[in-house]
Structure 1
């Protein structure tokens, strides 16, 4: 069963398989690897024949391959577009909105707003003094939030490029941020070991939600209003605080710890210790968080029972990025996450592994040639991944279907 859900094993195909297999005479490399064991390599397509790997189906941008000895199957998905002109250096953070705009930043501190349809750069946002580590779009799709090494958060007008709000108060680089509902409030985490709640309109820090003796690498916010009763705040919320009731914050730290916080009540509800640095977190469901570790493990944090369990450890490559994702067609839906790793693999992992919802195939986004996948973002129709090679790859959501 563990091979079927990819808990300990993985299939990986040649990154440019889509181009290699255009010609009926050419083939592509593929390998199967069970963690801790040697990989099994072979070729598929063209004149290659294999008793180990079977091509089950193929479409314009997808190919399904089964490893016969383990019965592990994976659908490999090629991008519909590769945007190589937005950045020339490693793209480390990425966000997209439903209005047709994307925002991204690379290691030479270029923060760009671009069209998700064409990849054309519309605006360069200049104002941060040092490297920018995180960027995303507000729900409106025309306002950008960024944070960086200058210990500042900036709010930008994506159309004009102006930055009317600068949030100052951290004493270490800002590494990640979360937007509360429509964006009257935001939460940031920093190398200074704090998580802070801000009011955007007033440009004011309302509260320090958490202070720990470790770098906080990442954070993710969820609403559990209909699922969990959180403690009531000891004091009435400030007039500058909006929509924090029922909100849970999950933060991940360099020392291998993760913390669950009630935002409105200002309380740490539970803390968890893992065996490696927490590099990224997200909420797959309102009550199930996923933690990506530097040793390659994916762990689930259950906010209802305050327990953790292993989701997958099929690779020792660090998990650099996570994004919630649901695969579905008609009335069936499978909830999970997309996880991007330092070795360039970006794969879907399902949360619910009960027999009646078990996927028969895994899904993997291809194209990154061993370049780390640093960020993942989605809109209604597409998935975007940001890589060390400076490219932003765009995938069609319809290609990930049951």
Structure 2
């Protein structure tokens, strides 16, 4: 058998409660302190490395990869994310940190869940991550009620862990048999992603076994859930494998994002809502919102608009390009500014003319 050696990456636009969801789903409620805030990706690589080695049999959440006002800060966050993903995947820590030799230890025994607003990683870096896009905002109120009042989530996790320990030997035997079958199959994807598929697929089957035994679900509903999960997992792994293969050769982009946006603006090639209510009622009808003399783009809409024009950028690339031209409005923390709970690319129209 092999140890789990992948990291999950929950990403999506701002205002979708990725942080809340991640922390609530990976912690058992502490009656004295509640739910702890996750560590941030702006930690240095040595600090983040120490963190994952200090944790045991749990999930560490490293939070908030998002566009920053400083190119240096963005690069540092991305480097930290990729380095931790390498440590989890390879099972080894860097030989040196801050110029001093670090004693070798056993591989980390925790899982890692990253959160962020944009994707990074191609080639071998992409093979160490499995991104999961959060496209619909989480209902924060209901989630908090389940964790902080009746403690539904924590109670469920407690009894699931108890059941797992009581049935450890039989579960271990099942995993060995599953692994033997997996070694005889081929998904046609990178080996690391193939292993990731095994870990998540078998974990879900064990989870459903518990739910069936405790009558939380019927056998019929369990089959439906199983089929749906397998399809989603297959799609996620296949999509990430495409990013892995893109890393073999990365072609330079011929058009700068700012220049393309400027051309589209001058030609009147995107749909702008002039009123916030209209935009909120039918966001799919518009590419941008005019708000306080700013052209405001949601990240997904902006990426889709560029994609329709045949240009595939990342949010980080767009942000860097706009900042280089002083065309992007930022908040006091140097992040994309917010309208309500959501962050937007707020572009000064005068810069596009």
If the TM-score is normalised by the length of the shorter chain, which range does it land in? under 0.3
TM-score normalized with structure 1 length: 0.22
Task: Considering fraction of residues, name the structure with more helix.
Answer: 2
Task: Considering fraction of residues, name the structure with more strand.
Answer: 1
Larger RCO of the pair (alpha carbons < 8 Å, separation 6+): 2
Larger radius of gyration: 2
